[in-house]
Chain A
Amino acid sequence: MRTQWNLFLAFFRVGILGYGGGPASIPLIHKEVVSTYKWMKDEEFGDMLALANTLPGPIATKLAGYIGYRVSGILGLLNAVLATILPTIVLLIILLSTLASFKDIDWVKGMTAAVIPVVGMMMATLTWQFFDKARKGMGWLQTIIMTAAVFIFLFFLDIHPGIIIAVLITSALVIRDKKREKGVKA
């Protein structure tokens, strides 16, 4: 019961504070799940984020659903997904059926705009954490080479991240273990 309540609270906060669509909620989810409630380690969060990116559909609910399921089964899944999406759906229905001019009020605009840099900052911190983890796992050289390569593919060649992740996962499975040690030395 306590777990369900915590799941609800964690994802309710994510849903109600994640300005800027689903992707904006990624650092918020990370804070709740890895730092506050410690349901997952960073490694698992990274794997989950990678796989979630190779699949279509909204990212926030995929994460909420999987984390809820990992923490306490189907009930946790439903709880986490609903806590993420229900409050704002209800709000949207109420707003649109009453006052549609809400979005034009100046101070509402200001409030929404002020959250964007907070989300940007949290995203940047998370970026550094993952980069740092990669460095600890495979050393500076390989991390920089891989990061640069991924950046070129993603940003300049405009290849979808799902494809890049799928290729990396496949190569991680295909490479034989001895070869990898050589790769690290070289």
Chain B
Amino acid sequence: MLTYWEIFLAFFIPGILGYGGGPASIPLVENEVVGRYGWMSVQEFSEVLAVANSLPGPIATKMAGYIGFEVGGIPGAIIGVFATVAPSLIILIALLGLLYKYKESPKVKRITLFVRPVIAILLGLMAWRFFSESYVGIGLLHTAIIGVLSYVLIERIKVHPAFVILGAFVYGGLLL
């Protein structure tokens, strides 16, 4: 029982303090899992992180699920993921619920308007980060080829991104 409570705390705290999405919470998770509870060594933690990074999907929940499972089996995995996801999700649903109750109010409409430039900048910076990571990883030529091809396929020919990503897998598996 104590173990489950510790698993909950170990992931609840990073989930509530990790501003900036999942990746931002990883050092906090390490602090709990390696530093406070000693469930893993630094070496083990970085190995798990490396494998997790080579798989798709959100990183924080992958870590919570795996470490929870290692420490407390299936219930441990469920508790770890729940503690990571639930607190901020519940707050988000409550806040957006409030917002949409008053969605006809000019003030709420103004919120929608005001936040757009921030969202644009945030997404733009992320796009920049992905491109520069790709430039460092696979070089300018491959990055440009894949970038242009996927733009034409997704935005012009309207192919579903799933197929384009599968295509990128093939490209990467054969050429990179």
A154 to B121 Cα, complex, angstroms: 9
Contact B89 A66 (CB under 8 A): yes
Grouping DSSP codes into helix (H, G, I), strand (E, B) and loop, the B interface class, with mixed when no group exceeds half, is helix
CB A106 to nearest CB in B, in angstroms, measures: 8
Residues on A with beta carbons closer than 8 Å to the beta carbon of B106: 177
Given the contacts A57-B84, A113-B137, A17 and B162 also touching, CB distance less than 8 Å: yes
Contact with A along B134-176 (1 / 0, CB 8 A): 1001100011001100110011000011101100110111111
- B113 (CB) vs chain A CBs: closest residue: A137
Given the contacts A62-B88, A103-B54, A115-B165, A88 and B116 also touching, CB distance less than 8 Å: no
Contact A169 B168 (CB under 8 A): no
Contact B176 A120 (CB under 8 A): no
The contact size tier of chain B is 35 or more
Contact A127 B120 (CB under 8 A): yes
Is residue A81 within 8 Å, beta carbon to beta carbon, of the partner chain? yes
Contact A173 B61 (CB under 8 A): no
B114 in complex: contacting residue of A81, A151, A172, CB < 8 Å: A172
A146 in complex: contacting residue of B81, B117, B171, CB < 8 Å: B117
A169 to B20 Cα, complex, angstroms: 18
Please tell me which stretch of B1-9, B30-38, B125-133 contacts chain A, meaning at least 4 of its Cβ atoms lie within 8 angstroms of it: B125-133
A116 in complex: contacting residue of B52, B95, B130, B151, CB < 8 Å: B130
Contact A121 B151 (CB under 8 A): yes
Contact B55 A138 (CB under 8 A): no
Is residue A33 within 8 Å, beta carbon to beta carbon, of the partner chain? no
Residues on A with beta carbons closer than 8 Å to the beta carbon of B174: 107, 110
Contact with B along A132-145 (1 / 0, CB 8 A): 01100110000100
Grouping DSSP codes into helix (H, G, I), strand (E, B) and loop, the A interface class, with mixed when no group exceeds half, is helix
Contact B56 A120 (CB under 8 A): no
A56 to B105 Cα, complex, angstroms: 27
Contact A89 B77 (CB under 8 A): yes
CB A130 to nearest CB in B, in angstroms, measures: 4
Given the contacts A62-B88, A122-B154, A150-B121, A160 and B134 also touching, CB distance less than 8 Å: no
Can you list 8 pairs linking A and B with CB atoms under 8 Å apart? Answer: A15-B58, A22-B21, A62-B92, A84-B58, A116-B133, A120-B127, A120-B147, A137-B112
Nearest first, the 8 closest Cβ-Cβ pairs linking A and B are: A114-B172, A110-B176, A120-B130, A89-B65, A58-B22, A57-B88, A123-B127, A88-B57
List 8 additional contacts besides A56-B18, A57-B60, A123-B130; criterion CB under 8 Å: A49-B119, A59-B22, A95-B55, A114-B146, A115-B165, A122-B161, A154-B118, A169-B111
Residue ranges of A at the interface with B (Cβ–Cβ < 8 Å): 13, 15-28, 31, 36, 43-44, 46-53, 55-62, 65-66, 69, 77, 81, 84-85, 87-89, 91-93, 95-96, 100, 102-103, 107-128, 130-131, 133-134, 137-138, 143, 146-147, 150-151, 154-155, 160-162, 164-165, 168-169, 171-173, 175, 177, 180
Residue ranges of B at the interface with A (Cβ–Cβ < 8 Å): 15-23, 25, 47-48, 50-62, 65-66, 69, 77, 81, 84-85, 87-89, 91-93, 95-96, 99-100, 106-108, 110-128, 130-131, 133-134, 137-138, 142-143, 146-147, 150-151, 154-155, 160-162, 164-165, 168-169, 171-176
